[in-house]
Amino acid sequence: MGGRKDCGAGGLLWQELAQEDAALCRICPRGARSAGNELGFFFTQAEKNSLYTEKFADTISSAEPSLQAYFTEARHAGTQQMLWVDLMSYLPDDILVKVDRMSMANSLEVRVPLLDHRVVEFMAQVNKEQKYTQFNSKILLRDVARRYLPREILDRPKQGFAIPLAGWLQKELKPMLHDVLAPARVQRRGLFNSDRITQMIAEHSVGKRDYSQQLWALLMLESWLDKELGPQVL
């Protein structure tokens, strides 16, 4: 793709994800961006080669990246180009959506003070050296926080909000996994190699490999396609 030259190493990854998004948009326009990102993040290129059917691979290769406009808008931003793309895509289309839905499902109101427009506008004018280095991130935020927080909090490793997905797919969600990604169903959809998915499920079930993220992405994609399109062949 001609636009790849402007994107840098990180941009190349996002361009690949965006091509997958665009291909899924051709199949089912609503919500395809998030589905495409899930595929791109959790599979290596070798895994994609073994997983995608020839038809789906051809569809992806000919698709115009759905994030291309954002890269073009920020083409003069240099190393901060990826921050702009994140702000315009990953934040509103992924993590903010998930937090909003899950918090509201539990009667919680979540706020995001660091996305106050005044903070965002200010940080857009700050040099990258004041935002991050090779070894440090959130430099200004950490400097301010040192006035109020002890070192053991400031310097502790980042802690995410992981769920026991690997175990769920081996136990509680195993029947759903085998049903939604059954060979006949995968073959009818026509996107993926059913033998490869069956192998991934088998290896994950016995603990030979941890395919939790990959299987979850496939499980959610097929569930979404089934809801939007039914069992039709693509």
Q: Please, where are the H alpha helices in the chain?
A: 8-27, 32-42, 45-51, 54-61, 68-73, 81-85, 96-105, 117-123, 139-145, 151-154, 165-170, 174-180, 183-189, 194-205, 212-229
Domain locations in the chain as residue ranges: 7-125, 165-229
pLDDT score, position 32: 44
Neighbours of 97 (CB within 10 A): 12
**Mean pLDDT per 10-residue segment, the chain (234 residues):** 36 48 52 49 83 86 68 77 84 88 92 92 85 84 92 84 90 95 94 95 95 92 87 69
* Encoded amino acid at 122, one letter: F
pLDDT score, position 46: 87
**Nearest Cα to Cα of residue 81 among 26, 14, 164, 170:** 14
pLDDT score, position 51: 92
Contact predicate 191/229, CB 8 Å: no
pLDDT score, position 76: 76
pLDDT score, position 63: 59
Backbone angles phi, psi at 70, to 5 degrees: -70, -40
